């Protein structure tokens, strides 16, 4: 197995990277191709992003693969995306397992067609022992819906007397969400030229560094991801504190 030394020290690189993979359809249309061909080309960029994050020591990578709003897209495009998910799960599972990458899903996996859901569940089980990195696929996912579902679940438990209102804090609330196993997002990247979150990880990305790139997802290569991580490494992460407080905390931790 090829071993690559990360370019960034663990103290400055992001622990959790999330990516909105936008621009597949427009990439294809600009070349006179069907939109589905853009999604197929985007699968190559997914493989490269996973490999790059693994080599750079990123612990968590979350990819916005299919939102709950994407069900409104043309039927043929949705069907093509579901087939690609199956192909990805079947073709990549051996390499994911070999490199210790655990696969996770956030969102409403039960909304997926049976064949797609079973393929996804199989790759999750197959890679369950992975400890080097967690690859999360956001499928039929919406950040606001995830928050609403968590609130509803807590309301039911509170009505049954199983939880007291004063017990509910951010950590307690997060345990009811489909992202419960993931830490907060450190770096959120969106390709495709749009500067919006599109209902992606709204709760988890509260303090994320946001980077919006004009490049379409199929053209998102290793060097661009490395550059995003490099930019992140230059940021001062204050979380409400002053620069002096951050410097003092860093010094005391040494």
Tell me the per-residue pLDDT of 68-80, one tens digit each, with 9 for 90 and over: 999 999 999 999 9
Whole-number Å distance between alpha carbons of 191 and 227: 14
Domains contained in the chain, number: 1
Average pLDDT of span 146-155: 97
Q: What is the mean pLDDT of residues 150-157?
A: 96
CATH number at residue 183: 3.40.1180.10
Q: What is the DSSP letter of 197?
A: -
Helix H, strand E, coil C: the string for 136-182 is EEEEEECHHHHHHHHHHHHHHHHHCCCCCHHHCCHHHHHCCCCCCCC
Q: Count Cβ atoms below 10 Å from residue 139 Cβ, excluding itself.
A: 26
Residue 225 lies in a domain: yes
User: Long-range CB contacts (< 8 A, 24+ apart) of 207-213?
Assistant: 207/237, 207/239, 208/18, 208/184, 209/14, 209/235, 211/187, 213/189
* CA 35 – CA 28 distance, rounded (Å): 5
Question: Does position 250 have pLDDT exceeding 70, yes or no?
Answer: no
Does a structural domain hold residue 245?
A: yes
**Cα gap 19→201, rounded to integer Å:** 10
Q: Residue 113 in 3-state DSSP?
A: coil
Q: What is the mean pLDDT of residues 171-197?
A: 97
Interatomic CA distance for residues 216 and 21, integer angstroms: 8
203 domain-assigned: yes
Pairing of strands 60-67, 101-107: unpaired
Q: For residue 63, what pLDDT is reported?
A: 98
- Asked if the structure places residue 166 within a domain, the reply is yes
Contacts of 114-118 spanning 24+ positions with Cβ under 8 A:
115/82, 115/86, 116/82, 116/83, 116/85, 116/86
Q: Rounded to whole angstroms, what are the CA distances from 137 to 51, 115, 167, 231, 251?
A: 15, 17, 30, 24, 37
The model carries a pTM of 0.94
Residues 204-218: what's their mean pLDDT?
Answer: 98
Asked whether the predicted pLDDT for residue 244 surpasses 90, the reply is no
Half-sphere exposure of residue 246: CA atoms within 13 angstroms, side-chain side = 9
pLDDT at 3: 66
Residues counted in the chain: 254
Q: pLDDT band for 2, please (50, 70, 90 cuts).
A: low
Q: Which residues are catalytic?
A: 22, 70
**Within a domain: residue 11?**
no
pLDDT at 249: 72
Above 60 in pLDDT, residue 229? yes
238 found inside a domain:
yes
In a domain, 6, yes or no: no
Q: What angle do CA 113, 116, 122 make, to 5 degrees?
A: 135
Task: Determine the structural domain holding residue 123 and report its residue range.
Answer: 16-253
Does some domain include residue 240? yes
């Amino acid at each position: 197995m090829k071993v690559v030394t990360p370019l960034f020290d663990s103290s400055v690189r992001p622990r959790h990277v999330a990516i909105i993979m936008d621009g597949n359809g427009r990439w294809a249309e600009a070349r006179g191709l069907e939109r589905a061909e853009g999604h197929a080309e985007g699968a190559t960029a997914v493989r490269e992003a996973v490999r790059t994050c693994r080599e750079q020591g990123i612990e968590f990578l979350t990819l916005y693969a299919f939102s709950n709003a994407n069900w409104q897209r043309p039927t043929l495009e949705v069907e093509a995306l579901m087939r690609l998910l199956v192909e990805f799960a079947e073709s990549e599972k051996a390499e994911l397992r070999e490199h210790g990458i655990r696969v996770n899903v956030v969102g409403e996996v039960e909304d997926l067609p049976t064949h797609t859901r079973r393929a996804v569940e199989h790759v999750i089980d197959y890679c369950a022992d992975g400890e080097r990195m967690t690859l999360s696929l956001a499928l039929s996912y919406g950040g606001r819906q995830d928050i609403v579902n968590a609130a509803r679940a807590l309301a039911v438990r509170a009505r049954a007397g199983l939880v007291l209102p004063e017990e509910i804090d951010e950590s307690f609330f997060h345990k009811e969400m489909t992202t419960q196993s993931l830490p907060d997002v450190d770096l959120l990247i969106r390709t495709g030229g749009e500067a919006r979150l599109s209902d992606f990880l709204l709760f988890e990305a509260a303090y994320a560094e946001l980077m919006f790139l004009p490049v379409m997802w199929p053209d998102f290569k290793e060097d661009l991801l490395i550059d995003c991580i490099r930019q992140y490494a230059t940021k001062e992460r204050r979380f409400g504190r002053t620069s002096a407080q951050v410097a003092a905390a860093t010094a005391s931790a040494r």
